[in-house]
A = this chain, B = another copy of it.
Amino acid sequence: MYDEIKNKELHSLVEEKKFRLLRDELGDMNEFDVAEFMGELDAQGSLIVFRMLPKEAASSVFAFLEPQNQEHIIKSITDKELSYIIEDLYVDDMVDMLEELPANVVKKVINNANPSTRTLINQFLKYPANSAGTVMTAEYIGLRKTMTVAEAFDYIRKHGIDKETIYTCYVMDAKRVLEGVLTIKEMLINPDTTLLVDIMDTRVVKAFTTTDREELVDIFNKYSLIALPIVDHENRLVGIVTVDDVVDVMEEEATEDFEKMAAMLPSEKPYLKTGVFELAKNRIVWLLVLMISGMITGNVLAKYERAFAALPLLVTFVPMLTGTGGNAGSQSSTMIIRGMVIGEIEPSDALRVFWKEGMVSILVGIVLGAANFIRLIIMYPGEYMISLTVVLSLFATIIMAKIIGGILPLIAKKLNFDPAIMAAPLITTIVDAFSLIIYFQIAIRLLDGIKPA
């Protein structure tokens, strides 16, 4: 396997121009590792290595390269070399690549594709963002139900080499309407003369080109599939999505949710590759919104100026109260939002969530309240009423925070807003304001020398 020692060895082979030895070493390596190694070389070194690869490995390695390496190679190789790579790449990998490249490079690629590939690429580039159409590939095995198992195997032998998966095959009629699916396993265990119509599975799980890619993840998870057929609205097969594409989608979607829940606009590119201005832009929007809501909390606080002018000690409990409220609320909202993403929780579970968060918050409130009370009577002996004020406020804040944190994401989903955006940041702000109101209202009622503002 590929490791650091091997990596050093390869680098020195490049430096010492021992190309024959290098070529042998490359031949033993996995395509992904070759691509990673090329990424570590300068533009020229990376091109030398690329030219050294056997023809059949070149396009797999190419698909694994970073966009800037792909761009350099496209610009440097001949049209004939480029054309070979284009025809050998899967359409979905190709479209992913084109979306990253500058327009002039895209043009060179499209010009070197043969007409049918060009039509396919253009068609793929037109599907709505984040739809199944942009994730799917057109390279699948399509069979007819009148074929025998032996005929099907002949067909697969002839056409299977450049398909993304041959393990699930699709049976369709002359108009490409999807009629059934069939696995290689099923074909292998049946006699050669069996007709496909007798062994194909007509209970086809499928999705549409316009299906959101998040839904694809749910379907793969639910049915443990290797590949999913994608049809248009006339039920004609137009492509398939394979499980490895879905794994990528899953990771991207999870990353987007992490970003949204930390109050950022989701970024298209990985962190180290995103420019400073774009990073700043993605972060400023929400920080501005939250800053303004922080001002509202400040105004709430200002309303009780007289209270804390009379008893400045009161202010020192504010960070603990609002902080605990915010954390308690985010815990709940995070669980509910994630539960909705993985399909466990639905808006119709609102009552169960309400009850559960209510019970949990009472338990949490009792434990935290007790811990706080002990600390307060030690630190401020004799100040029982202040201690009681703080503990009661803490208890009420936790219950309020957990119920808002649990219910708000469900309401957002019900109203077709993105629950992830309603998460930690917004909830913290709401909880902050409410916890201050709770705190000072209790203080005004329990403590002498504090008059309502």
Contacts and interface: CB of A to CB of B under 8 A. Distances in A.
A444 interface: no
A102 interface: no
Interface in A323-360: 323-324, 327-328, 330-331, 333-339, 342, 344-345, 349, 352, 356, 359-360
Contacts of A356: 271-272, 276, 279
A284 B323 contact: no
Contacts of A324: 287, 290-291, 294
A226 interface: yes
Nearest to A256: B338
A99 to B, nearest CB: 19
B315 A301 contact: yes
Contacts of A128: none
Interface string A259-275: 10111100000111000
Interface string A81-100: 00000000000000000000
A262 B338 CA distance: 11
Contacts of A184: 166-167, 184
Given A226-B226, A287-B324, A308 B312 contact: yes
A342 B308 CA distance: 48
A204 B375 CA distance: 60
Given A32-B223, A251-B221, A287-B327, A345 B272 contact: yes
Interface string A273-288: 0001101100110111
Contact of A298 (B28, B294, B320): B320
Contacts of A272: 339, 344-345, 349, 352, 356
A453 B77 CA distance: 71
B428 A323 contact: yes
Interface string A403-436: 0000000000000000000001100110010001
Contacts of A360: 276, 279-280, 283
Interface string A215-258: 00000111111100000000000000001101110110011011
B255 A342 contact: yes
B313 A312 contact: no
Nearest to A394: B291
Given A288-B368, A294-B324, A344-B270, A331 B262 contact: yes
Contacts of A372: 291
B247 A243 contact: yes
B188 A271 contact: no
Contacts of A377: none
* Interface band, chain A: 35 or more
Contacts of A316: 298-299, 301-302, 305
A103 interface: no
A322 interface: yes
B288 A371 contact: yes
A101 interface: no
Given A161-B189, A220-B247, A323-B290, A368 B302 contact: no
Contacts of A322: 319
A363 interface: yes
A166 B248 CA distance: 24
Interface stretch (A13-21, A152-160, A381-389): A152-160
Contact of A302 (B167, B299, B313): B313
A407 B247 CA distance: 29
A1 interface: yes
Contact of A305 (B244, B312, B337): B312
A188 B328 contact: no
Given A28-B203, A220-B247, A294-B324, 9 more contacts: A32-B222, A153-B188, A161-B185, A255-B338, A262-B333, A280-B367, A283-B328, A284-B368, A299-B316
Interface of A: 1, 28-30, 32, 153, 156-157, 160-161, 166-167, 184-185, 188-189, 203-206, 220-226, 243-244, 246-248, 250-251, 254-255, 257-259, 261-264, 270-272, 276-277, 279-280, 283-284, 286-288, 290-291, 293-295, 297-299, 301-302, 305, 308-309, 312-313, 315-324, 327-328, 330-331, 333-339, 342, 344-345, 349, 352, 356, 359-360, 363-364, 367-368, 371-372, 375, 424-425, 428-429, 432, 436
